[in-house]
Amino acid sequence: MGKQWFLFDVYNGRIISIGASSTATTLRLSSVTINSKVIENGARHLVDHVTPFHISILCFLLNPYRDFTKSNGGYGKVFKSFVLGRYTVFMTGREASKILLSGKDGMVSLNLFYTGQQVLGPNSLLQTNGEAHKRLRRLIAEPLSIDGLKKYFHFINTQAIETLDQWTGKRVLVLEEASSFTLKVIGNMIMSLEPSGEEQERFRANFKIISSSFASMPFKIPGTAFHRGIKARDSMYAMIDSIIATRRNGEVIQQDFLESLIIKHSKGTNTIDNEDNKLTDQQMKDNILTLLVAGHDTTTAALTWLVKFLGENPAVLEQLREEHLQIQANRKDGTNLTWSEVNNMPYTNKVISETLRRATILPWYSRKAAQDFEIDGYNIKKGWSINLDVVSIHHDPETFPDPEKFDPSRFDAPLKTFSYLGFGSGPRMCPGMNLAKLEICIFIHHLVCKYKWRALEKDDSVQPTLVRMPKNKYPIMVEPL
């Protein structure tokens, strides 16, 4: 049999098999029923040249959200494949999670996909490793701290109320509405963008193109989605450059993330004028874009899944509503949600954790072996790709009995470390975790206190994108309580 290559297009949900005869076969994500001839040829190739798991690994690639430990033929929690011209190791389990995410001894580095590398830029927090990563994270951490977020509380609260006021009596696509809400929040937080107007529309248009470029093949040819993404990124950077110049000239002063970076990292502002304690403009821009992309998509998905799971679990919704109505009842007449109230929502935080467990918004974490090491009796070689399957960790029945059930009481007691990865773990734990929780708690408070809703479609399918979202965008009909 001649050589055959498999190109896995995760974004569009297909595998393209190109053989020596120049023929091509497309296998759709929605179906694992493949023409018998394709199964025979493909399986032989996978057994002889790629992996002993033949159709098992093919099914894993076709559906990256499945729990591969249930269907890998009994090969255990670690197996190796040959994907896109390189060895790739797939892992699951708490011990694998601990090794890969703890950063111990510099065993692994982040394995960012090529389009992400190109769009986010070389100075992105997601591109750095080791001491460089620690330094960069320290320099941008302060505005994302709990104290640093207080100044954005009123804006987030106002936007949540205004967004939900427009839902009454309408058919709403929760994913689109959540996307609009989170984009307004993060745009205002980072550079004080108003929620409407020409500048907001330009920002939104560029961001949508940038975001969609992650779901494209990495061909920088005019007219392709990837090329449009790079051009939109450059336009976004020009916008940020203009804002930075205006701020430095003293024309405008804002209390936002960008202003804090400009002040903190301008020359002469530190007691010791050490370049190790400063960010360049390019570092600021790359990491502003990183925060925009990472903070928007994940929080949008979390909000959408949470509304879906609440609608499907009325007992959980009722208990959550009781917590929020009690908060409202304890408040003086005429006052609105307060910062202290948001920080005292114990059941809400359990619901958020269970949402992130059940949905597993980031289905796997990708790393690259920075050195040779051993795990579970297997030798991992430097340079190999390593994928940690988070879905199977979050659905491990030993840690989470009846894992398909939506049950916030799982979080009544602390879990073992590295068994729950809702915001990651270790040195690369999500730096925007506090912001995401703040947005969700505020939004959910106003939703459950004022509104009821019903789903208009029963569809559990998932978009084949890097961030896991409901494919139908979760349409609902909303009415006041």
pLDDT of residue 215: 67
pLDDT tier for residue 131 given thresholds of 50, 70 and 90? confident
* Residue with the larger pLDDT of the pair 136 and 188: 188
pLDDT tier for residue 2 given thresholds of 50, 70 and 90? very low
Checking if the pLDDT of 59 tops 70, the result is no
pLDDT tier for residue 446 given thresholds of 50, 70 and 90? very high
pLDDT of residue 30: 29
Residue 189, class by beta-carbon neighbours within 10 Å (0-12 exposed, 13-18 middle, 19+ buried)?
buried
Checking if the pLDDT of 307 tops 90, the result is yes
pLDDT of residue 55: 34
pLDDT tier for residue 277 given thresholds of 50, 70 and 90? low
Q: Quick one: CA dihedral 336, 342, 344, 346, positive or negative?
A: positive
Between the CA of residue 2 and those of 17, 49, 82, 226, 243, what are the distances in Å? 12, 11, 17, 32, 57
* Residue with the larger pLDDT of the pair 53 and 281: 281
The tens digit of pLDDT for each residue in 205-260 reads: 998 898 888 767 778 888 888 899 999 999 999 999 999 998 888 877 788 888 88
pLDDT of residue 34: 28
The tens digit of pLDDT for each residue in 311-326 reads: 999 999 999 999 999 9
CATH fold of the domain at 114-480: Cytochrome p450 (1.10.630)
In the annotated binding site, the residues are 430
Please say whether the beta carbons of 50 and 21 come within 8 A: no
Checking if the pLDDT of 37 tops 70, the result is no
Length of the chain: 481
Question: What integer best gives the mean pLDDT of the chain?
Answer: 79
Q: Which of 13-22, 159-168, 184-193, 216-225 has the highest mean predicted lDDT (pLDDT)? A: 159-168
Give the residue carrying structure tokens 């703040």: 438
* Residue with the larger pLDDT of the pair 466 and 48: 466
pLDDT tier for residue 276 given thresholds of 50, 70 and 90? low
| % of the chain at pLDDT higher than 70 | 79
**Token couple for 119:** 């769009």
* Residue with the larger pLDDT of the pair 364 and 57: 364
pLDDT of residue 394: 94
* Residue with the larger pLDDT of the pair 351 and 83: 351
pLDDT of residue 334: 67
pLDDT of residue 39: 27
- Residue range 469-478: mean pLDDT, rounded: 95
193 vs 191: CA distance, rounded Å: 6
In the annotated binding site for heme, the residues are 430
- Residue range 430-455: mean pLDDT, rounded: 94
> Which 3-state string (H, E, C) describes the chain?
CCCEEEEEECCCCEEEEEECCCCEEEEECCCCCCCHHHHHHHHHHHHHHHCCCHHHHHHHHHCCCCCHHHCCCCCCCEEEEEECCEEEEEECCHHHHHHHHCCHHHCEEECCCHHHHHHHCCCCCCCCCHHHHHHHHHHHHHHHCHHHHHHHHHHHHHHHHHHHHCCCCCEEEHHHHHHHHHHHHHHHHHHCCCCCCHHHHHHHHHHHHHHHHCCCCCCCCCCCHHHHHHHHHHHHHHHHHHHHHHHHCCCCCCCCHHHHHHHHCCCCCCCCCCHHHCCCHHHHHHHHHHHHHHHHHHHHHHHHHHHHHHHHCHHHHHHHHHHHHHHHHCCCCCCCCCHHHHCCCHHHHHHHHHHHHHHCCCCEEEEEECCCEEECCEEECCCCEEEEEHHHHHCCCCCCCCCCCCCHHHHCCCCCCCCCCECECHHHCCCCHHHHHHHHHHHHHHHHHHEEEEECCCCCCECCCCCCCECCCCEEEEEEC
pLDDT of residue 90: 82
pLDDT of residue 73: 42
Residue 251, class by beta-carbon neighbours within 10 Å (0-12 exposed, 13-18 middle, 19+ buried)?
exposed
- Residue range 80-109: mean pLDDT, rounded: 77
pLDDT of residue 267: 53
148 vs 143: CA distance, rounded Å: 5
- Residue range 12-36: mean pLDDT, rounded: 33
Please say whether the beta carbons of 143 and 263 come within 8 A: no
- Residue range 458-463: mean pLDDT, rounded: 87
pLDDT of residue 94: 86
The tens digit of pLDDT for each residue in 390-440 reads: 999 999 999 999 999 999 999 999 999 899 999 988 888 888 899 999 999
Q: How many CB atoms lie within 10 A of CB 151?
A: 14
Q: Which residues contact 23 (CB under 8 A, 6 or more apart)?
A: none
